[in-house]
Structure 1
């Protein structure tokens, strides 16, 4: 009977011990998980600036994984990375004689208690000794990293937006743990992130101790079931917001899905160690820089230097040996407004299809003096000025200038363009173009399809032989036309080519094959340049239809003679002409009609064959005799002549009448020397 009683006694003691152990394990598991989740919520809420915290007088961890193990017969959380460090003394006070309790910042912590004194640091009270561990970060392989507010470890910059949506708030933490936030928890959550005061830390530690004492096994099971449902709901919500998950996020989800009865302490997933940004190499020695400009003129560069400066607006690379422009050439300077790549060796195949696409503010692009055979593709629509002079352009198709609706100035001189390889629709996309230079090409006629907004057109040094009556039908705003150094004859200019233009004020027909001043000139013409032709005659009334009237007429270096200028040759320009150049012709006398030009300021008659200047040929005067006194009276208003050139003629200056230049106020304005010797 006594033996039986002893057996029952031992069985009863064993059952009591097992019950006590199970109850203790349950109580320990709850505060550990809650402590872990609070630590995660604290680091995510942005209260502390994230950085790696040093260990407290402890060596480096031994392994990256941090599971918990059972020591003896009681459940006690011990980090793998801290195994065997029990003898090391920490900076916290240790009280081994009081049932294994620890003192942390003035608070007494029970044995096996877990807390987080700082972001990313977790501590354990083990038999009177405080053991702490710092979270480690995995290395990243992305070029740029950033540390989100409140996080311990950096993430790739392109994943910041997705990480922002996965930051766990205090409410999410309560759902994951299966607990409802208590008033003390909310108070601690508000204090800890923003103000790491001693009072806030003490409040948190007291709350954890009370929760460990008041836990019950039945309530724990209910919280587990509720937490499991909430976790499933949370995971579904996160999947909807993040279709593509990173490997670290997947590992975090696996940790939450693991068995809750294993008594393990969950540690937040570790992010990679931040990689310092790669700094761009310094500029070459031949470059200079200012606040918004980099200039590398004649710096012997073979490629565009790697520059990373969002504030840069101007880049001058003139006179180098650059051959290519990659798609990434301007990635570091996306706010450029002006680029000058003139006088390099850039080829069309060497320009990436998206080289200029990133430049959303580019306004001026200069590519003069390269080896381009076509206009670069995918140019920014913000461009207002493009120069591709002196290249090898041999064609512009209808899509060659697409999307350049803001382009105002286009220069394509010195190429191999002609009416045969320039599409009539090439200029159609240019809705704002006003200035076009196509000189030194191979055009035989005026290009077709000119923009309606065009104001200035320059076609010098081509082979143009004809100006048809449909050339300028759609360019009602054109103001200047330059056609010098071509092969035009007056009968190849159609009568209706430009006579009805209302804004055309300047035409340059120098160095063509004209034999007389062309008829049917625009009504609005003010400035006519006919230098270097073979003009022998100025037809009568050729300027008579012009309103308000021609102001500048340049006929230098022609073959004008006295017979080629009629008394009515300047009719229509008498009251408007300001400058008249008749030098380097074959005139033997000052032409009739000059004395009628009351607004004339500048007259050139030098390098002719003039022998004398009659008194009334330049200055019109009326001589009256009263009491044998001679007085000079100018009719109408005073003459405005300021400069008269008569040098290199055959004038005997000693025989000139004193009234020849009486209307000119300063004789210094009359140039008479030198003169040629009489034959």
Structure 2
């Protein structure tokens, strides 16, 4: 009997132990399931709201399309799916689709999947050559009082409220502009609390010998008097101990939830590669340096950035703030930069001096020498006649557009081996005053902008690392065989608004380039589509020339094949093209723009372009549309056309047979009105 009782008691202990060990697992599983359901319900609600908003409308000359609002508090993968789920986005001349899906935004090239924020509350994405932008929806705050900081679009908890922990992927930034006096007071209180906690910790860990020694030193001060305890010190220490205990418990709970959220997010997140412009960090930045920082009138402090835009300054203000990393002095009347101007800002990474009156003689020879961490320098819109000397070797981006640069010698860009972007547009540079060896030190240069200068030929000595070259608004007349001999990585060449004729392009100028995907020869003196184009070309822009003919087989040698051909605003007529004009591009052409020409009928071979999505034939002299010109009656497959423009011709819409556009899936993508009457 005793043995049976003992055996039952032993089994009862085992069952109770197993139940206690396994009790925690369902609780964690329930919590994980709850978070997943919460995320899914939020996502489904977001997609429902997107569907209710409907399909957006865009304009052909607008590079940025407006899309329904998406809640950015959720995962990046869901957000990009929402971008790509809207059909019918018009194409634009200002994009650089290419193989890599480049986008051109305000003169800056963005790579495919690049994400940036052009202004508060707006985030844009480059998706396969199209710029898609969303406005940020604000996450509701769980605090009684909220404020909207200057320059922000979402409310945040006021300074008197304590933030609650959140598991969102992107946390809301605290207010951007903070007064220096508030920061100093907070740091003073924090330092007192830290010292008190340090004393309390030392008392707990000290040995008996050290305790006795401390008591001997604390019995009197330097004058032999008794040490007086500060009022409220005991209460403060007790309060700190209680608070420390509560914080440790909260940290343990948060670590548990954080680990579970990380497991969920690892399965859901899709990393996205950024570009020159990236999404702003959502984590709070460290406060500025301790101490009192007096800013001039019109300046503001935004964590590590001091902004003095249009502050009517006549000189660079004397500032001592080692933790400041960005200084904005745009739109002032600064005329000089002395050697000691930035001595108090040794950790500057970004410096914007654009739109001032700075002259080359007014810049001290050592003005930038101490800025050992400077990566971006903007001096657009000043009165410089030469590039400043002794620029930091850490620079990755230099902008000196719209100045009065007269020359670039061999030493002007020395030691800038980390420079990636160089912009020198709107100056007086030419092949006469630019040394052929000037660009030799730039081993990392990828983007070079020399537009609005006086070049008559392609600059010599371009670095082998160059990927994008912009030479618009110059006086270039020819492209020789040696221009791009050493630039095997070049991907984009922009030569619009020059004086180039097709017979002045050498046959071997760029035909053997393996990475050249985009060429812009708009607004030159071309009468024919140039021959001997690069084999790798995907994107050809020939707007605003005097082109009358597309030679046969001009695209036949290209691999994988031309995808984007823009021939708007030329003089193309029916006899200037035939079926062999597009030979080699029938299988690859996605966008064909022939608007604003002299065509009287639909060009031959359109129905054979199986990959065509955008066709513009508006503003011509077309009178009739035959059924077989757009759709092939012998094939039952639907066309891929998403936009067909035929407006501003001489078409009698009522006389168009009903089956003329039978292969097009949606009639809403066909634009026929208005038509001209003659």
Given the alignment, which residue of 512, 517, 526 partners 1:514? 526
1:615/1:290 CA distance change after superposition, 3 Å? same
Given the alignment, which residue of 357, 378, 386 partners 1:366? 378
1:328/1:671 CA distance change after superposition, 3 Å? same
Given the alignment, which residue of 537, 562, 580 partners 1:525? 537
1:335 and 2:347 are equivalent in the alignment: yes
1:510 positional shift: 0.1
CA contact (8 A) 2:293 2:320 kept: no
Please give the alpha-carbon distance, in whole angstroms, between the structure 2 residues aligned to 1:529 and 1:660: 30
Give the equivalent residue in structure 1 for 2:654.
654
1:403 and 2:403 are equivalent in the alignment: no
1:444 positional shift: 0.1
1:619 positional shift: 1.1
* Equivalent residue runs for 1:9-158 within 5 Å: none
Give the equivalent residue in structure 2 for 1:223.
none
* Equivalent residue runs for 1:297-446 within 5 Å: 297-446=309-458
Give the equivalent residue in structure 2 for 1:70.
none
CA contact (8 A) 2:328 2:351 kept: yes
Given the alignment, which residue of 621, 627, 631 partners 1:609? 621
Please give the alpha-carbon distance, in whole angstroms, between the structure 2 residues aligned to 1:382 and 1:428: 17
TM-score, normalization: structure 2? 0.58
1:196 and 2:243 are equivalent in the alignment: no
| Post-superposition CA distance 1:107-161 (Å, at most 9, x none) | xxxxxxxxxxxxxxxxxxxxxxxxxxxxxxxxxxxxxxxxxxxxxxxxxxxxxxx
CA contact (8 A) 2:638 2:665 kept: no
CA contact (8 A) 1:364 1:386 kept: yes
* Equivalent residue runs for 1:481-630 within 5 Å: 481-622=493-634
1:193 positional shift: 11
Please give the alpha-carbon distance, in whole angstroms, between the structure 1 residues aligned to 2:596 and 2:569: 5
| Post-superposition CA distance 1:346-392 (Å, at most 9, x none) | 00011111111111110100000000000001100000000000000
1:638 positional shift: 2.8
1:668/1:345 CA distance change after superposition, 3 Å? same
Corresponding residue SS for 1:568: helix
Give the equivalent residue in structure 1 for 2:643.
643
Please give the alpha-carbon distance, in whole angstroms, between the structure 2 residues aligned to 1:471 and 1:195: 84
Please give the alpha-carbon distance, in whole angstroms, between the structure 2 residues aligned to 1:572 and 1:481: 22
1:447 and 2:459 are equivalent in the alignment: yes
CA contact (8 A) 1:297 1:319 kept: yes
| Post-superposition CA distance 1:413-442 (Å, at most 9, x none) | 000000000000000000000000000000
Corresponding residue SS for 1:423: coil
1:293 and 2:294 are equivalent in the alignment: no
Corresponding residue SS for 1:569: helix
* Equivalent residue runs for 1:155-234 within 5 Å: 196=217
1:490 positional shift: 0.2
Give the equivalent residue in structure 2 for 1:152.
none
Please give the alpha-carbon distance, in whole angstroms, between the structure 2 residues aligned to 1:657 and 1:357: 74
Higher Cα radius of gyration: 1
1:195/1:374 CA distance change after superposition, 3 Å? farther
Please give the alpha-carbon distance, in whole angstroms, between the structure 2 residues aligned to 1:316 and 1:494: 46
1:285/1:541 CA distance change after superposition, 3 Å? same
- Gapped runs of 5+ residues in structure 2? 1-211, 223-290
Please give the alpha-carbon distance, in whole angstroms, between the structure 2 residues aligned to 1:293 and 1:567: 60
- Gapped runs of 5+ residues in structure 1? 1-190, 202-278, 623-632
CA contact (8 A) 1:280 1:307 kept: no
1:283 positional shift: 1.2
Corresponding residue SS for 1:436: strand
Which segments of structure 1 move beyond 3 Å, counting only runs of 4 or more?
191-199
1:195/1:337 CA distance change after superposition, 3 Å? farther
Please give the alpha-carbon distance, in whole angstroms, between the structure 1 residues aligned to 2:337 and 2:624: 67
Number of matched pairs: 403
1:666 positional shift: 1.1
1:544/1:197 CA distance change after superposition, 3 Å? closer
Please give the alpha-carbon distance, in whole angstroms, between the structure 1 residues aligned to 2:591 and 2:413: 41
Give the equivalent residue in structure 2 for 1:222.
none
TM-score, normalization: structure 1? 0.58
1:459 and 2:471 are equivalent in the alignment: yes
1:390/1:197 CA distance change after superposition, 3 Å? closer
CA contact (8 A) 1:502 1:523 kept: yes
Please give the alpha-carbon distance, in whole angstroms, between the structure 1 residues aligned to 2:632 and 2:369: 67
Give the equivalent residue in structure 1 for 2:671.
671
Please give the alpha-carbon distance, in whole angstroms, between the structure 2 residues aligned to 1:195 and 1:382: 55
Give the equivalent residue in structure 1 for 2:192.
none
1:639 positional shift: 1.3
Corresponding residue SS for 1:668: helix
Please give the alpha-carbon distance, in whole angstroms, between the structure 1 residues aligned to 2:219 and 2:596: 101
Please give the alpha-carbon distance, in whole angstroms, between the structure 2 residues aligned to 1:421 and 1:381: 24
CA contact (8 A) 1:414 1:440 kept: yes
CA contact (8 A) 1:281 1:306 kept: no
1:196 positional shift: 3.4
Please give the alpha-carbon distance, in whole angstroms, between the structure 2 residues aligned to 1:571 and 1:516: 16
Give the equivalent residue in structure 1 for 2:26.
none
1:618 positional shift: 1.1
1:440/1:280 CA distance change after superposition, 3 Å? farther
Please give the alpha-carbon distance, in whole angstroms, between the structure 1 residues aligned to 2:316 and 2:664: 61
Please give the alpha-carbon distance, in whole angstroms, between the structure 2 residues aligned to 1:486 and 1:579: 25
| RMSD between aligned residues | 2.3
| Post-superposition CA distance 1:385-407 (Å, at most 9, x none) | 00000000010000000000000
Please give the alpha-carbon distance, in whole angstroms, between the structure 2 residues aligned to 1:328 and 1:601: 59
Please give the alpha-carbon distance, in whole angstroms, between the structure 2 residues aligned to 1:195 and 1:666: 92
